[in-house]
Chain A
Amino acid sequence: MRFIPVTCEERAEMLAVVGVDSVEELFADLPEDARLARPLALPEPMGEVELAAHLRGLAARNADSEGVVSFLGAGCYDHYIPAIVDAVVSKPAFFTAYTPYQPEVSQGTLQAIYEYQSMVCQLTGMEVANASMYDGATAFAEAALMAVRITKRRRVLVSGAVHPEWLETLRTYVEGGAAVVEAVQSREGVTEAKALTSALADDVAAVMVASPTFFGTLEDVPAIAAATHSAGALLVLGANPILLGVLESPAAQGADIAVAEGQPLGNPMSFGGPGLGMFACRQEHLRQMPGRVAGRTVDVDGRPGFVLTFSTREQHIRREKATSNICSNHALNALAAAVYLSAVGSEGLAGIARSCISKAHYFADALVATGRFAREFAAPFGHEFTLRYRGDVAAMQSAMLERGFLAGLDLGRTSSDLAGLVLFAVTEKRTRVEIDRFVAEVGAL
């Protein structure tokens, strides 16, 4: 398990060529007081057999989606991942490659990025997409910074109905003073129209909403877009990529920048990371877009090929004038998303979305019918919904976990105002049998 192939004899030969007696001499530039005079206080090495057993032991102490029936979502979803996805992302030529800075030997990565960008454009209705950001939250934050650069305005209005972690990430990203973030209150699980209109003015760079919202509800995006544009601001819309199989595209709904958490597209939940930040915008704003972009061109023999392009936006060229400091992105997760979207196709994506939505509606109705849950919001919803539980949410969840279920997210955990509310998500993996069993068990508590 050393992964160091040089033999003792070779090491001696190498030292001789370098002209030193020991490796220690090569560290002579390290000043005495900056040296570690003892071995690192770390565990002893492990062979692969022991290591595998140790890791299996750690993994066994986590409940996972193979062992429990999950109704948890809130930004991370238990969708089915087709076998072909891991078969592709497991190819060493993809996952052991670096950023494609040498295009002649990186056509695989570059074409895969180009195809991914194309698919993101198809889903969002936008003209350009980047090669990926870290996750939905950071894509959302970068979208705000981009809107500030485009409009040269500093106020950013964010719906109170977006994922709280997206809002918190955005707040952190503007700590340096690039923008002033104001939350617009939500009502009935969606952005309050009146609050938004009264906050809008000609110093607003962007209005930022998500549809579906954190609560699973759908916003009236066209109305928000109209209000936003009449103030000369840009609309940043957070979307769910699975629902885009059946929902009107962000561009068609009036968004100027579309972002999404792409984990649902073929990426494992993996305790919340790595996710996939999907980012798309209109062509006119390309030069303000953060992140890498691949483009199609030709080589000296006229053959089609792909390169990273519009790099003058990026940190390795522009340094402090770059559109973002992002360098490493989530290319392998983007590859997984592209393979996923190829595997399901547009009919499959629509079918999966419809399956999730149908099951979610069936589940919501059945939960309400138990008399233990009540609908909280009237707005339409997709595959995720918020109900009020008539009882102690934490006790219900822990009782249901004992019965093999992850019973949604206790929204009281995210904010005390939301105590008593539970956010449920339903994917196409859930069966009627599982849903019926959950309903019967929770009704009997």
Chain B
Amino acid sequence: MRGDDLRERRIGTLIFELGAEESRCVEPPRADVPQVDLQAALGEQVRTVPPALPHVTEVDIARHYERLASANFGVDSGFYPLGSCTMKYNPKVDEWACRLPGFAGVHPYQPESSAQGALELMWELQGMLGEIAGLPAVTLQPAAGAHGELTGLLVIRAYHSARGDSRKKVLVPDSAHGTNPATVAMCGYEVVQVPSDERGGVDLEALKGLLDTDVAALMLTNPNTLGLFDENIARITEAVHAIGALVYCDGANLNAILGKSRPGDMGFDALHINLHKTFATPHGGGGPGAGPVAVSAQLAEYLPGPVATRDGEGTYSLSIPESSIGRMRSFAGNFGVLVRAYAYMRAMGRLGLAEVSEQAVLSANYLKELLRQAWPLAYDRVCMHEFVLSGAQMRKEHGVRTLDVAKRLLDYGYHPPTVYFPLIVDEAMMIEPTETEGKATLDRFAAVLLRIAEEAAENPDLLHGAPYTTPVRRLDEAAAVKRPDLAWRPGPVVGG
């Protein structure tokens, strides 16, 4: 027997394997009305085989999930410089706020007169996001960034349709997030890729060559996924507008420019904002987030509803914009996430939010300076809130890939940066420190990365085998596809 097998709960033990047939945690309330005969009430459709759910006690559950949590890494565990994801600290007061019964216990269909506090919060949040975006109309409906993209492009589609203009193409830079082209396809548009220039921005001449009256929109992230602000932004938006198309901003990188520059002022017509990035709501191990969309005045009537409105007497209500594209989901939005973002924005205030971007940008440039001696920069320019290094030289000289570096970082207790994105940089490593890390953290992280560069030269196999100290080591992803095991099933043989 391996030592692992003797541990009380070894890694991989499923909750289905705990407890006993008679174990219970929460039982239904005692019957205080006559119990229906299910067969009589529901007819043929009564279930004959019960679902095989765990039979466990509360102690089993508490310990199981504590063990799982201990095999996880979150922002509270340590530095999480995941580029493009803005893994900043999630304030605890926001968690407290969204759990207040007056927020968590509110039903979306209760009379508006009995939900004025919730509606006021939404209305205020719409206003604050609109001010930051420089775009006057905001919907809080979208559940995530990609959902916001879909919303924004459908709004743009509706705008063109209303003008009797059926355009077919949407331009997307080669440095874009994968959600951009996927969204374009979901909207029924053809994706046309725009190349980047040697400074990492949109190749303006190439863009102009692609612009024709069949183009509905350009989707652009600015600052872009290389962490660079596109200096030509005004010329880009102007050129797109000149052919009657609109410009959509992927707001994933808004953390760089709060109070410095507004997408609306750059000429963007629509923008989604990832509240789970810029406005400190937690990522939840993958979600829920929220992706409100802000648009220019000419697009306001197409927004999905409901949106919060306020009348002259200060009464709040929900309404559907005039030529709305319709709903993007049930109910008004990921309200629990909106409460957290609102709390964060009120805590920071106008000056605090500007300071966020100043520090995020300074921290990124500082870290970039500390690392550039060991890792070539993909684009040697002042960066915004993140920057991209290339491990191509390290791969060539030592046979060590960026993936190996990322895995080795795990042994030092850091979450790795985003790797192999953007796709246009070979062996890319994209680092976003955020403003919520102290200088000492940045210094230590840089020292570790420099140390790893030395390790790569001295003993490449050390990196090839990393990580060594994590709950599990490198996993066999090919086997996961070859022999799919996507769900536990009851049976005589369980476990692996």
Contact = CB atoms under 8 A, between A and B. Distances in A.
A428 B341 CA distance: 33
A5 interface: yes
B465 to A, nearest CB: 8
B1 interface: no
Given A93-B72, A321-B185, A102 B438 contact: no
A44 to B, nearest CB: 5
B45 A111 contact: no
A367 to B, nearest CB: 13
B182 A319 contact: yes
B327 A118 contact: no
B284 A94 contact: yes
B276 A270 contact: no
Nearest to A406: B110
A352 to B, nearest CB: 5
Given A2-B352, A5-B438, A169-B328, A60 B75 contact: no
A112 B69 CA distance: 10
Contacts of A388: none
B345 interface: yes
A412 interface: no
7 nearest A-B residue pairs (beta carbon): A272-B331, A59-B102, A176-B188, A45-B349, A272-B108, A304-B12, A61-B117
Interface stretch (A134-142, A182-190, A192-200, A228-236): A134-142
Interface residues of B, number: 209
A107 B72 contact: yes
A107 B11 contact: yes
Nearest to B490: A122
Contacts, number: 738
B258 interface: yes
16 contacts: A26-B384, A34-B265, A88-B61, A91-B65, A100-B286, A102-B416, A103-B472, A104-B473, A138-B329, A270-B98, A298-B476, A305-B11, A307-B475, A315-B178, A325-B182, A328-B288
B208 interface: no
A150 interface: no
Contacts of A344: 25-28, 53
A8 B66 CA distance: 39
A105 B106 contact: no
Nearest to A122: B51
A87 B333 CA distance: 25
A84 B58 contact: yes
Given A93-B74, A100-B285, 18 more contacts: A2-B352, A3-B348, A6-B435, A26-B362, A27-B229, A58-B121, A94-B74, A102-B415, A108-B72, A134-B143, A134-B287, A175-B157, A176-B187, A271-B336, A317-B178, A330-B287, A354-B38, A358-B31
A6 B132 CA distance: 24
A264 B416 CA distance: 36
Interface string A24-39: 0111111101111001
Contacts of B49: 249, 252
Given A26-B382, A43-B346, A268-B104, A343 B330 contact: no
A316 to B, nearest CB: 4
A29 to B, nearest CB: 4
Contacts of B319: none
